[in-house]
Amino acid sequence: MYIGLDFGTTNSSVALYDGTTLTLLPLDPRSTANPRVLRSTLFITSEGAAYIGREAIDRFLEGNVGREIDYQWRFVGEAELTFADIGTVMQALYATVDANAPGRLFQSIKTALRDRGFTHTNVFGRYYTLEELIALVLSLVKMRVEDTLQTKVTGVVLGRPVHYATDAEADALAFKRMQHACKLAELPDILFLEEPTAAALAYARNVRTAQRVLVFDFGGGTLDVTIMQLDDAGRPTFLATDGVPVGGDVLDRRIVMGRLLRQFGEGATIGPRQLPFPAHVLEHLTEWQSIVDLTQPRYLDIIEEGVMAGSKPRELRALRSLARRNYGLPMYEEVERAKVRLSDANETTISMHMDEIDFDEPLPRWDFERLIGPDARQIERCVDRVLAAARLSPADIDVVLRTGGSSRVPRFVRMLANKFGEEKLQEMDVFTGVASGLAIAAWERGRQSWGG
């Protein structure tokens, strides 16, 4: 059985095509929103058990949120050191660890593929490479597919962004790592296909007129753009592709850093001399995973000084609670929900009421659009580049196809409408359109394998 697998930064999905019917498989029975869409999350317990999707998030929230972090100095293993004069010796390794953590959650791990600095991480005494973490997710997805279909997966067409990174070396490294992860997961007969190309294949399935189509695929981790020419039988010729590593995760970060820092001590002065609260402390709020670092003594002592002798004790108590009681993920989930609401509303509110965190922060759409202005300009330049590469003008495009959750953000819908005309815009299923196209490509690959 050949399948199409869209392993996304935020969400993943799997589809099957038999030449007539497209079927999206129910990967996540715990999801109340859409069981055909699996959150690309991984939770590893202290005993080494692994969980993915909604269950991974639920287990993290149940065991971690509200729990006070207890850092202790622990033995984590040994390293072999070789010296010219004395030969090889074993060196004991110690580290500060969260002693009572029930498990560790990984989210958006696909974005780490381009990070040269992320080679491995210690999870309760075992070192996992990045490729091993991704392979865990992929192998569990494969297992769910085989359980659902009651047959073995014999081939996979896997989606990939046009560019994992803007730097060519980082882009090549990311793809090499992804290939290795697929090998570790034992995905059979693997073929990589660019995600906007897959979305274009899904659209072309129902087209019976010649047209030029621009695919605007904007997900959680990347923005990818493809231009193709369809003939009157729906057969595509791909003219140009481009992409940038900007996605929904970046937009969430803009909201946190642009609107919420004031709720956690931004602008405070601390200590007897009322010195400015160090900006580098609040930089840990750029990702929910790094917020827990603030419980380390070198940061927590600064926060405690601000609580005791600072100009904003309430806000710094909130920061202390955010870090010590693991409220980083709930904060980012609330920010993401607010971002989604702004697709339909002109204003929304980001609310947090837990322990010493107590605020309702208004977020008007106009200010959200101001915060993401640099990203919007970078994305528009990407669209212009792909038009230039195809030697086309906006007037030459017949259809603009939007897919991916971030393609619903009004700033980008408006940008596309202004450039191409609102009447040309069409929206695919934002979370499963790519998987559908991958499934079509998988069916074609399977036919070739079977000699059909």
pLDDT along the chain (452 residues), means of 10: 95 95 94 91 94 95 78 56 63 57 89 91 90 98 96 96 90 96 97 92 88 93 91 87 92 98 97 93 95 90 95 97 94 97 97 96 98 97 97 98 94 98 92 92 84 54
pLDDT at residue 282 in the model: 97
Can you give the pLDDT at residue 125? 82
- What's the pLDDT at 277? 96
**CB contact set of 436 (below 8 Å; sequence gap of 6+):** 4, 15, 17, 22, 24, 198, 202, 429
Q: Classify domain 2-191 by CATH architecture.
A: 2-Layer Sandwich (3.30)
Residue type for 8, please?
G
Alpha-carbon gap, residue 31 to 17, rounded angstroms:
23
Give whole-number Cα distances, 420 to 52, 55, 127, 410, 413, in Å: 40, 42, 50, 15, 11
Nearest 5°: CA angle at 64, between 58 and 65? 85
- pLDDT recorded at residue 208: 82
209-248+375-430 sits in which CATH class?
Answer: alpha beta
Cβ atoms within 10 Å of 385's Cβ, excluding its own: 15
- The pLDDT of residue 205 is 86
pLDDT given for residue 83 in this prediction: 62
Tell me the two tokens of residue 299: 């940061």
Q: How far apart are CA 257 and CA 409, in angstroms?
A: 19
User: What's residue 136's pLDDT?
Assistant: 98
pLDDT of residue 99: 60
Residue 253 CB neighbours (<10 A): 18
Whether 2-191 shares its CATH topology with 209-248+375-430 is answered yes
What pLDDT shows up at residue 87?
65
With a CB cutoff of 8 Å and minimum separation 6, the contacts of 301 are: none
C-alpha separations of 269 from 272, 329, 361, 408 in Å: 9, 27, 22, 40
| Domain boundaries, given as residue ranges, for the chain | 2-191, 209-248+375-430, 249-371
Q: What is the pLDDT, as a whole number, of residue 90?
A: 59
In this structure, what are the phi and psi dihedrals at residue 215, rounded to the nearest 5 degrees?
-100, 125
pLDDT value for 79: 55
Which pLDDT does position 166 carry in this prediction? 84
